[in-house]
Amino acid sequence: MQLTRDDIADQVLDTALTIVTAQGWQLEAVDGKALLEEVQKILPDGEVSVPNLAVLRKVLSGVQKEELPKSDAETIFVLDAEKVNLSRALQILGDDPHEVRQRFQLPPPVARPAGPKRPRLAAPVQGSALQVDEFLQVFKDLTSSDMNKESLLEMLATRAYVDEFEGTIHAMDATLLPRDPLERLKQLFELQSHWRPERLNSLMATSLAGQKVEAWLGKHARQVYMEFTPGEEVRMMTKKFA
């Protein structure tokens, strides 16, 4: 299969950031020449796909600090830790889960136990969506970050959602949700049938300017109690009329 220009750029970005992490280089002062040399060595046809620093800088533009200090030489890349973390997280979300598990040698996913208030679902397969814990492990491997699960999910609040039944994480772009509140709520429930109240409130807030979100949701959704961990009930929001 022939790679597109975007595929090549993603491959170069992944390789470059992997090298920076593996070498333990400071994000704020990456030696561009050294990085270029390593990227060209590792990538097939590296000298063709990344012929010079200008090309590498362009690929890294999305994870660099917006305003570089005037004293920085052209050969120094000043990377932004928050942008790098977000880029890595979105990369994992966009990759095939089976390939991610193979690349990072993750064990096969395990199904959550069924309970009286939790349906028995089919056992996950190797190609099923990543569990949140798997996602966190891969993220830490890629970034050497000490970010915890809560902070990681907060960073991805508008870019991903968690399926509470399966404990899996999925890509979502909240900016593409309808502005009309009823249509927005409908689409969110099409993504998944049950939401934690705080997540649903957050995702609905932008379309309910001037209104009390909880009161509005009280009219258009209903609360139920689900058991994701045996013996522990969690309040969830679902469709008003299922």
pLDDT tens for each residue of 112-163: 665 545 554 444 555 589 999 999 999 999 999 999 999 999 999 999 999 9
pLDDT at 126: 52
Write down which residue in 147, 171, 195 finishes a domain.
171
Of the listed ranges 12-16, 46-50, 148-152, 168-172, the one predicted with least confidence: 46-50
Indicate if 158 and 99 belong to the same structural domain. yes
Q: Which pLDDT score, from 0 to 100, does residue 1 have? A: 46
As a residue count, the chain comes to: 242
The number of domains in the chain is 3
Q: Determine the Cα–Cα distance for residues 222 and 17; give it in Å rounded to an integer.
A: 44
* Domain's final residue, options 49, 79, 109: 79
Residues 85 and 157 in one domain: yes
What is the chain's Cα-based Rg? 21
Separation of CA 37 from chain center: 29
For residue 222, pLDDT beyond 80: yes
Could you tell me if 164 and 226 are in contact, meaning their C-beta atoms sit under 8 angstroms apart?
yes
Please check the confidence at residue 193 and state whether its pLDDT lies above 70: yes
* 57 and 94 assigned to the same domain: no
Same domain, 86 and 73: no
- 72 and 89 inside one domain: no
> Is the domain of 105 the same as that of 167?
yes
Read off the pLDDT of each residue in 78-100 and give the average, rounded to a whole number: 96
Q: Do 166 and 209 belong to one domain?
A: no
CA distance 29 to 35: 11
Q: Work out the mean pLDDT of the chain and round it to a whole number.
A: 89
The reported pLDDT for the residue numbered 196 is: 96
Q: Give the residue-averaged pLDDT of 84-104.
A: 96
Pair 115, 161 in one domain: yes
Does one domain contain both 195 and 215? yes
- Are residues 205 and 150 part of one domain? no
Specify the pLDDT at position 73: 57
First to last CA, the chain: 44
| Other CB atoms within 10 A of residue 60 CB | 24
Q: Do residues 182 and 128 make contact, with C-beta atoms less than 8 angstroms apart?
A: no
- Give the rounded distance of the alpha carbon of 155 from its chain centre: 8
Measuring CA to CA, how many Å separate 101 from each of 92, 126, 240? 11, 8, 38
CB-CB contact of 236 with 189 (8 Å): no
Confidence at residue 69, expressed as pLDDT on a 0 to 100 scale: 56
Q: What is the mean pLDDT of residues 48-67?
A: 90
What is the reported pLDDT for 66? 73
In the listed set 79, 113, 132, which residue is the last one of a domain according to the structure?
A: 79
Is pLDDT of 61 > 60?
yes
Asked if residue 108 and residue 39 are part of one domain, the reply reads no
State the pLDDT at residue 5.
Answer: 76
**What's the domain range around 121?**
80-171
Same domain for 70 and 84, yes or no, is no
